[in-house]
Structure 1
């Protein structure tokens, strides 16, 4: 199987990353493909679903009228912005969206203004990353993370319930948001220190082991799926360390877990599909070879193997 050819035969949102990160194409090639995200395939379909007020599905984190009683829907504004940003959409395609959301979108939690964030670490992390991407002033959210770091060095969305122990899910999502802020603005001494503290929290645990016993945190640390949403696994975490360009030796065991999941034909399988309403599917059902996961895993292993 020609894995590279198989990966190239995909939506522009995925193909441009294959061209840049796996095929080593020159910028003129992958930049042209990346520009197509706004006009073709997944990206264009999501752009066409935007409401006149700048939102999607009429809500910030949940669709308008959502009353619970079903799995988490993935159609509202934050989830849609996450996808578009991760797919490499140029922010110019959403010109005016930041201002519209400032005017029209409020969090379901206490009706707080969209770009001010709320109390959930993961929600605030995505808002921080989406804000710097779209040009909103989200520096207050970056400072919020400094103030809400827990004593063990990470973060936990359950801090509002009194938790004083960090969560790998919350910490990884926070790190992604802080890295996006730092990349766009340079960050501050405090936000940089907070991000490094969160990295140490994960590295001390080798990305997947309990600090207390050394045992794996749970079976899901090596169960990979796309879209990732808020879920933690070692591929998701290793991809962050690649983006941060920190090839720490403590990543070695996690990298071997990723390598062990590669099938003989060079692909990785979709483990599960997180339930909940979506606009449309962007990857294969569980048990089938996933182009998204194969891109992510191949990319991170190439980076790791070339670290010296």
Structure 2
């Protein structure tokens, strides 16, 4: 076992079980046992402990005006509140918490019956209006066994001519957004793999083609880097796009890597540190429940895990 794998395995259970599954030769029984600890220990348990009355932080996407972090504010109070139900459930899904754990099912049931979107009062799993939010809702719903057909149907009808999605389409935009598109693609993949009733594979492939035509970070018109921030890796990604997030999505799809991913893969490879880790680089501002890692400029177990499994996929395919 390498030094970096040992370091990863010294982290939270949410990281450990995925390292065991994706990077080591651990048995399926060992992986399952470690995954079960996500809900009962460490950061997963801390998130579940913060659930109350059908929601986290008193809201679906924005905490209620009377909500205050129980241990005082953590993070940037001028940024987005990442403490509400949507970002918290997305984080639990990233942690790989067992959706059948009794505390998890109780919390999700409470969200289904008690949580409403601030925009119009709709039930949480009926979705909102912005496709980036709805993509996250579909991913959460599919993962936690909820019916999100209504949201999926809406997303299928909102796909733009270039193959992607954009939250600004309702304001007249006809060009897709990387940020919105990756949120929707992740949701459609989770829905497809959960056995959803609606056919989404064609829409998902068209959305993937939108990213591939741009090599995951370049402008279609000039080939220039579309946004330098996309070359900075962060976890949690929230609704933001970056190259590592895009690559991890295509890795999750499986199969041989598309040749158009080569530039993005080299971006990831170039950021590996001498100790074998990748750094946290671009934390998205906002209130959080608690710090997951040590901050920007410091080694990140989450970015390292995701980068290593992307490279294992791409290097294995070319071996």
Which category describes the TM-score, using the shorter chain as reference length?
over 0.9
Superposed CA offset, 1:151-194 (max 9, x none)? 111000111211111001100110000000000015533x1111
What CA distance in whole angstroms lies between the structure 2 residues aligned with 1:132 and 1:70?
A: 32
* Counterpart in the other structure of 1:284: 294
* Counterpart in the other structure of 1:12: 13
* Counterpart in the other structure of 1:92: 100
Confirm or deny that 1:178 pairs with 2:188.
yes
* Counterpart in the other structure of 2:266: 256
Residue number among 297, 301, 312 corresponding to 1:302 in the alignment = 312
Q: How does 1:115-194 map to 2 (within 5 A)?
A: 115-185=125-195, 188-189=198-199, 191-194=200-203
Q: How does 1:35-114 map to 2 (within 5 A)?
A: 35-51=36-52, 53-65=53-65, 70-93=78-101, 94-114=104-124
Q: Does structure 1 conserve the Cα–Cα contact (< 8 Å) formed by 2:141 and 2:148?
A: yes
Tell me whether 200-209 or 95-104 shows the greater mean CA deviation: 95-104
What CA distance in whole angstroms lies between the structure 1 residues aligned with 2:313 and 2:252?
A: 10
What CA distance in whole angstroms lies between the structure 1 residues aligned with 2:118 and 2:45?
A: 27
Change in Cα spacing, 1:258 to 1:66, as seen in structure 2 (3 Å) is farther
Q: Does structure 1 conserve the Cα–Cα contact (< 8 Å) formed by 2:51 and 2:107?
A: no
Q: Does structure 1 conserve the Cα–Cα contact (< 8 Å) formed by 2:13 and 2:37?
A: yes
What CA distance in whole angstroms lies between the structure 2 residues aligned with 1:54 and 1:118?
A: 17
What CA distance in whole angstroms lies between the structure 1 residues aligned with 2:233 and 2:278?
A: 9
What CA distance in whole angstroms lies between the structure 1 residues aligned with 2:202 and 2:136?
A: 19
**Shift in Å, 1:60:** 0.3
Tell me whether 90-99 or 194-203 shows the greater mean CA deviation: 90-99
Q: Give structure 2 stretches of 5+ with no counterpart.
A: 68-76
What CA distance in whole angstroms lies between the structure 2 residues aligned with 1:296 and 1:17?
A: 10
What CA distance in whole angstroms lies between the structure 2 residues aligned with 1:84 and 1:9?
A: 19
Q: Does structure 2 conserve the Cα–Cα contact (< 8 Å) formed by 1:227 and 1:283?
A: no
**Length, aligned pairs only:** 305
Q: How does 1:187-202 map to 2 (within 5 A)?
A: 188-189=198-199, 191-202=200-211
Q: Give structure 1 stretches of 5+ with no counterpart.
A: none
**Shift in Å, 1:92:** 2.1
SS at match of 2:194: helix
* Counterpart in the other structure of 1:272: 282
SS at match of 1:83: helix
* Counterpart in the other structure of 2:221: 212
What CA distance in whole angstroms lies between the structure 1 residues aligned with 2:66 and 2:175?
A: 31
So what's the TM-score if we normalise by structure 1? 0.95
So what's the TM-score if we normalise by structure 2? 0.92
What CA distance in whole angstroms lies between the structure 1 residues aligned with 2:29 and 2:16?
A: 14
| Deviating 4+ runs (over 6 angstroms) | none
Which structure has more relative contact order (CA 8 Å, sep 6+)? It is: 2
What CA distance in whole angstroms lies between the structure 2 residues aligned with 1:243 and 1:186?
A: 18
The CA RMSD over aligned residues, in Å, is: 1.6
